[in-house]
Amino acid sequence: MASKNILFISGSIGLGHVTRDLALANELRKQNPGIEISWIASEPASNLLVDAGEKMLPEAAEWANENVIAENTAQGFKFNLMKVTMNVRSAWAQNAAVFVKLTKQRSYDLVIGDETYEIMVALKRKPELKRMPFVIIYDFIASYSMTKNPIEKFGVYYWNRFWSKDFHKPSPFVDMRLFLGELEDIPDTKFGFLLPRRRDWAQEKCKFVDYILPFDPQEHVDSKALRATLGYGDEPLIVCSIGGTAIGKQMLELCGRSFPILKDKIPDLRMILVCGPRLAPAELDVPKGVETKGYVPRLYRHFTASDLAIVQAGANSTIELTALRKPFLYFPLMDHYEQRIHVPQRLARHRAGVCMEYSETTPESLAEAILQNLGREVNYLDIPTDGAQKAAKLVSNLL
């Protein structure tokens, strides 16, 4: 049988999505020996893929980097996703043009896009551009207005109407929608006035595959052995991380300011601030004794070794910590509807994590929350983590 060729576009902001994309790609190879997977992604996701030995297409250099747009849109710890959607029109047009050129020049048996909304929009508006099966991956459904700004409210309604239009009709522009999570992760609310309910739409349109992790939680239960491997001792360890963009610098500095307060009570405490690939550690203003790192590969191993993690409310990092059964505090970015609505609802359902409000947290109150949760036993509900296997099986049916 001739080898099947897959184009995988890892199109979302940060690094959380590309780690799950890589896990899905590896599972696809297990289930379909001999397939060829080529990638499109922008930095920093592209760097991770290259380090993993994946085949990056030259056209990736032409792919607009939404991380830059997102960072330019953010205002301190405030980040409005709808503003990003409004600011990415030219970037989406550029990416759609790259996609059309690429699929004209080369033949693929399947295209997978992780939150590649620009491709979904282009194919919906011009179905004749679709030359092969197309799979899109979601972990939340549609937008919310987070301010009273009438322009934002109109933009949200317009986008949600476009998303949910023709609810009960076939969608020839997409062959499969994969939702990474469970039905209960979707708020049971309407897209908007006279629009369908999000959960009803997702139940009809999506395939639910549970969560995809870049590791097997069963292989990360011995934190003591992992500590030795990573160079940690027996001292209490806090790992703080903001993910794959520079957004969230203020949270790391807040963590750093709590450190001297904590050291008075726990003299051997160790705190590590992980800046990620787009924020230089030297840019942080933190007290002496706080350790700072740039990009840390396989950060989940350091989460496993920790006694407490402090993170933004990223969907992937918080699910990883839930699967690892680690105590953690999380700070949703202000005005970020996914981090303020979808993620807290999901974590509350699993009894996981402690939600913190950045604007109301002082170094003293953060230190108190850390002392209450450092090394504590958790009672999280078990979560399904076989998403890569389920998703690969569904996708393989399209080959």
How far apart are alpha carbons 399 and 396 in whole angstroms?
A: 5
Cβ atoms of residues 211 and 384 within 8 Å:
yes
pLDDT digits (tens, 9 = 90+) for 265-304: 999 999 999 999 999 999 999 999 999 999 999 999 999 9
Q: Is residue 109 part of a domain?
A: yes
Q: In this structure, are 29 and 132 located in the same domain?
A: yes
Q: Do 15 and 91 fall into the same domain?
A: yes
pLDDT (tens digit, 9 = 90+) per residue, 22-38? 999 999 999 999 999 99
Q: Are 297 and 359 members of one domain?
A: yes
Which CATH number belongs to the domain containing residue 173 in this structure?
3.40.50.2000
Which range marks the domain in which residue 116 is found? 5-211+385-396
DSSP 3-state assignment of 244?
coil
Q: Are residues 43 and 149 in the same domain?
A: yes
Type of residue at 248: G
- pLDDT, tens only, 142-192: 999 999 999 999 999 999 999 998 888 888 999 999 999 999 999 999 999
Long-range contacts of 64-69 (CB under 8 A, 24+ apart): 64/88, 64/90, 64/91, 64/92, 64/94, 64/95, 65/91, 66/11, 66/12, 66/13, 66/42, 66/91, 67/13, 67/14, 67/42, 67/43, 67/244, 67/245, 67/278
pLDDT tens-digit map of 74-100: 999 999 988 888 889 899 999 999 999
Cα 24 to its chain centre, rounded Å, is 14
| Per-residue pLDDT band at 17 (split at 50, 70, 90) | very high
| Residue 165 located in a structural domain | yes
pLDDT at 167: 83
In angstroms, what CA-CA distances link 97 with 59, 136, 163? 11, 18, 21
Is pLDDT at 118 greater than 50 in this prediction?
A: yes
> Does residue 378 belong to any structural domain of this protein?
no
CB neighbour list of residue 224: distance below 8 Å, 6 or more residues apart: none
Asked whether residue 380 is assigned to any structural domain, the reply reads no
Q: Is 161 found in the same domain as 33?
A: yes
Integer angstrom CA distances of residue 312 from 255, 317, 332, 338: 12, 8, 6, 12
For the entire predicted model, the pTM comes to: 0.95
Does 101 map to a domain? Answer: yes
Give me the number of domains the chain comprises: 2
Residue 204 pLDDT more than 70? yes
236 plus 101 within the same structural domain: no
Nearest one of 28, 146, 17, 26 to 79, comparing CA atoms: 146
Clarify whether residues 146 and 189 are in a common domain.
yes
How large a percentage of the chain has pLDDT more than 90? 91
pLDDT in tens, 311-335: 999 999 999 999 999 999 999 999 9
Residue 379 placed within a domain? no
Residue 57 lies in a domain: yes
Residue 1 pLDDT grade (very low, low, confident, very high; cuts 50, 70, 90): very low
